[in-house]
A and B are shown apart, each in its own frame.
Chain A
Amino acid sequence: MNNIKKGKGFGVLIWRITLTCCLILVLPGAFASAQEAKIRIGAAVSMTGTLAKEGSLLKKGYETWAEWVNQRGGVNVGGTPNKVEVIYYDDKGDATTSAKLTEKLITEDKVNLILSPYSSGIVAATSSIAEKYGYVTLAPMANGDFLYERGFKYLFSVIAMASQVHIPIVELAVKQTPKPKTFAMAVLDNAYTLTVAEGLRKRSQELGLQEVYYGKFPFNMSDFSGILTTIKSKEPDLLFFGGFFPHATSFYRQAKELNVNSKLYTTTGTSNLPDWVSTMGKDGDYVLAEEHWSPEMRYKGSFLTTESFVDYWVRKHGEQQLNQWGSSGFVSGILIQLAIGKAGSLDQTKIKDALRTMEVETFWGKFKFDEKGKNIAARCGVTQIQNGKKVLVDPPRPGVKLIYPPPSWKER
C-alpha cells in the first residue's frame, strides 16, 4: 500500500514539473504576442524566372517599406500601432504558381493583407483568388486594362493603365524635328505588352503616323532576325518594341547586328531596369521607356516627399538601386497604411471602401481610384538612356533634352 502511494506521489510530482516547464516555455511567447500586435502581409513575387529582375526589385520595395514603417512603430490600426511582418514566396514568374501561393497565404498562413506580384499576366490569376476570398490587392506593377474590366471590387492599380503608358512617348516624338511620319512595332504576345501596344498604336494613328510594320512574337522567341530584316526594309522613323528583359536585350543586340536604324527606339519599361546598362553597354543608349516614377519628379505626401524618400532609399540601397519597381512597392505599403488608418481596422471591406474614397498625393504621385480600381490621377513620364544614364525627358525640365535622332549603330 505504501509503495502504491509512493508511486502515485511520484507520478503527481512528474506531472507538476512537466506542467510548470510547459508554462515557462509557452507563457512568455503568449505574453509577447499579446503585447506586440502584428499585421501579417503576404506577397508571392517573382524572385526567379523570366520576371526575376522586375520581381526582385518590387520585393525590395516591399521589404524597405516594412522596415521603414516598423522603425516608426508600425501601422496605426484604430489607434494601436501594429508592426508589420511580410511573408514572401517565389512564384518563379508563373501565374499558376503565384495563384496557388496566394491561396496558401490566405488560407494557410492566414495573412491580414496581400501585396501583389509583378506583371499583369500573373496578377490576373492572383487577383481572382484574392477576390474570391474578399482580400484587397494593391497592384503596384500590374496595369493591363483588362484586369480592371472584370468587375472586381478588391483590386486597385497603383500606376496608370497599360494602354496609356506609352502615349506620352509618341506625343513627345511628334513634337521633334524632323517630324516622324512612320512607325514599326514588334510586340510580345503577352497581356501587358499587347495592351501597351494597342494604346500606342491607336494614339500614333490619331497623331497622323503611318504604321509600316506590326508583328506579334511568342514568349520563347529569341531570334529576331526575320522581324528585324522586315523592319529594316520599311525604314520606319519610330521603332516601338514591347517585351521583357531577355526579349529586349536580344532584339536590340540583333538590331545592331543587322544595322537596323531608326530615329527613336522604345522598350516597355525594360531599359529602366538597373541591369539594362550593365548588360547592353553603349548599345543600350538612346532607348526610351515609360517611367511611372522618377526621383526627378516632385510630389508631396503625408509621410514622405519625393526628396525625403529618395534620400532614405539612397542611404539604404545606393543610387543605382533607385527605380520605379522598388519605389512602387514602397508606395503600395504607404497606401495600405493610409487605407487602414482611414478604415480604422483590418477589415477588408472597410479597407476597400477607404481606398475607393481616397484622394491623396504621396511621394510617388497622385492617387484617385475609380469604381473599377484604376488610378485615374496617374500619368507616366518618359526616360531616355543617355551615355549610360537614365534621364527623365518628359515632363520637360530645364537643361534636359531628348536626343533625337540618335546616331546610327555604325556611328556609335
Chain B
Amino acid sequence: MLGQFIANGLLQGGFYACIGVSFSIIFGIMRIINLAQGTQIILGAYVTYTVSQALRIDPFFTLPVSVIALFILGYLVQKYIINLVAKGGLVITSLITFGLNLILINIALLIWRADFKGTNPWYMGMSFQAIGVTIPYVRLLIFVIAVLFTISLELFFRKTATGNSIRATALNPKAAQLMGIDIGKTYCLTFAIGSALAGAMGTLFILAMPISPFTGGDFLIILFSVAILGGLGSIRGALFAGIVLGMIESFSVMFMGIEYQKIMLNLFYLLILIFLPMGLMGKRFYG
C-alpha cells in the first residue's frame, strides 16, 4: 500500500508542479498574482473538449491547439489590459486578474454552460502493474508530459536569448531596459508562456477528470503553495514543490483519512509561510 501511495503522490505531484510553474514564473518575474490562472487551465481543457468533439480525434492530440490558443490569449491580455496598469502595483494587478477570472468564467458559462464536460479516450481506465504498484496510463502520461514541459521551460530560460531577456527583466527591469530589452514585450511573452503552459495542463487534466467553468478555483491553493514553496520564479523549485505537495496529499489520506487532506495541505502551506518564506529552495528567482 505504501508503494501505491508514493506512486499516487508522485503522479499527482508532477501535474501540480507544472501548473505551479506557470503561476510561479508570472509571479516571480512580473510580480503579478494571476488569479485567473486556474480558469486558464480550464479554458485549455475546454479547447481540448471542443476540438476533440468537433474533429472526433483523441483529446491528447489537441495539445498544440490549446497551447497556441492560450498563448495568444495570454499575450493579448498582457498587452492590452495588464501592461496598462503594470506600474500600479500588486493590488491593482491582482484586482485586474481577479476581474479577468470572473470574465473568463462567465464566457465559459455562456459557451459551454455549467454542466460538467469530460473526454473518454480509449485508454481511459487502463493501467499496468510495476513492482506491486498499479500505474494508470493516463496519470503516467500526465506526469511525463508535465515534467517534460517543466524541464523544457527551464532550458528555455537558461539557454536561449529570449529566456535570458526574461530573466534579466526579472532581475532588474530598469537595467534590462537600458540594455535595449523591450520590457512591455517581455512581459507579454512571459504571461503568454504562463498561459500556454496552463492551456497544456488543461488538456492533460480533462483526460482524467470532468470539468466545469468553476473547476479552476480548486487549483488556487495549489498554485500558491507550489509558487511559494518552490521559491517565486524558480522552475526547479516548482518541480520539487509540486511533488512534495502531491506526496503530502497522498500521505495525509493514508495516515489520517480523506477528511484531513485539504487541512494538511493548507497547514503545510501556512508553516512554509511562517518558517520558510523564501521557499524550500531558499531563494526566489535569480539570474
Does A49 make an interface contact (CB < 8 A)? yes
A226 contacts B258, CB within 8 Å?
yes
B118 contacts A279, CB within 8 Å?
yes
| Residues 205-231 of chain A, each 1 if its beta carbon lies under 8 Å from chain B, else 0 | 000000000011110111101110110
CB interface residues, B 155-202, toward A, < 8 Å: none
A381 CA to B258 CA in the complex, in Å? 31
Q: Which of A48, A249, A257 contacts B113 (CB 8 A)?
A: A48
User: Chain A binding site: helix, strand, loop or mixed by DSSP?
Assistant: helix
A229 contacts B5, CB within 8 Å?
yes
A215 contacts B259, CB within 8 Å?
yes
Does A74 make an interface contact (CB < 8 A)? no
B254 contacts A259, CB within 8 Å?
no
A155 CA to B136 CA in the complex, in Å? 47
Q: Residue of A at shortest CB range from B253? A: A226
A253 CA to B259 CA in the complex, in Å? 21
Most chain A C-beta atoms within 10 Å of own C-beta, residue among B12, B209, B217, B254: B209
Does A365 make an interface contact (CB < 8 A)? no
Does B138 make an interface contact (CB < 8 A)? yes
B8 contacts A222, CB within 8 Å?
no
CB interface residues, A 398-412, toward B, < 8 Å: 409
Stretch at the interface among B83-91, B120-128, B227-235: B120-128
A258 contacts B134, CB within 8 Å?
yes
A253 contacts B212, CB within 8 Å?
no
A399 CA to B209 CA in the complex, in Å? 38
A96 CA to B45 CA in the complex, in Å? 28
A257 contacts B126, CB within 8 Å?
yes
A186 CA to B257 CA in the complex, in Å? 11
B91, chain A: closest CB distance, angstroms = 27
Which residues of chain B come closer than 8 Å to A217, judged between CB atoms?
258-259
A41 CA to B262 CA in the complex, in Å? 43
| Residues 240-284 of chain B, each 1 if its beta carbon lies under 8 Å from chain A, else 0 | 000000000110011001110110000000000000000000000
Q: Which of A92, A253, A259 contacts B124 (CB 8 A)?
A: A253
Does A358 make an interface contact (CB < 8 A)? no
| Residues 249-265 of chain A, each 1 if its beta carbon lies under 8 Å from chain B, else 0 | 11001101111000000
B115 contacts A256, CB within 8 Å?
no
CB interface residues, B 102-150, toward A, < 8 Å: 109, 113-116, 118, 120, 124-127, 134, 136, 138-139
A229 CA to B6 CA in the complex, in Å? 11
B208, chain A: closest CB distance, angstroms = 8
Does A52 make an interface contact (CB < 8 A)? yes
A222 contacts B125, CB within 8 Å?
no
Q: Residue of A at shortest CB range from B136? A: A257
With A48-B113, A257-B134, A279-B118 as known contacts, state yes or no: A246 contacts B258, CB within 8 Å: no
A48 CA to B105 CA in the complex, in Å? 14
Does A117 make an interface contact (CB < 8 A)? no
With A49-B115, A215-B259, A249-B118 as known contacts, state yes or no: A227 contacts B134, CB within 8 Å: no
CB interface residues, A 8-55, toward B, < 8 Å: 48-50, 52-53
B127 contacts A215, CB within 8 Å?
no
B121, chain A: closest CB distance, angstroms = 11
Does A233 make an interface contact (CB < 8 A)? yes
A186 CA to B126 CA in the complex, in Å? 22
B114 contacts A226, CB within 8 Å?
no
Does B55 make an interface contact (CB < 8 A)? no
A245 contacts B125, CB within 8 Å?
no
A48 contacts B115, CB within 8 Å?
yes
Does B53 make an interface contact (CB < 8 A)? no
CB interface residues, A 66-114, toward B, < 8 Å: 92-93
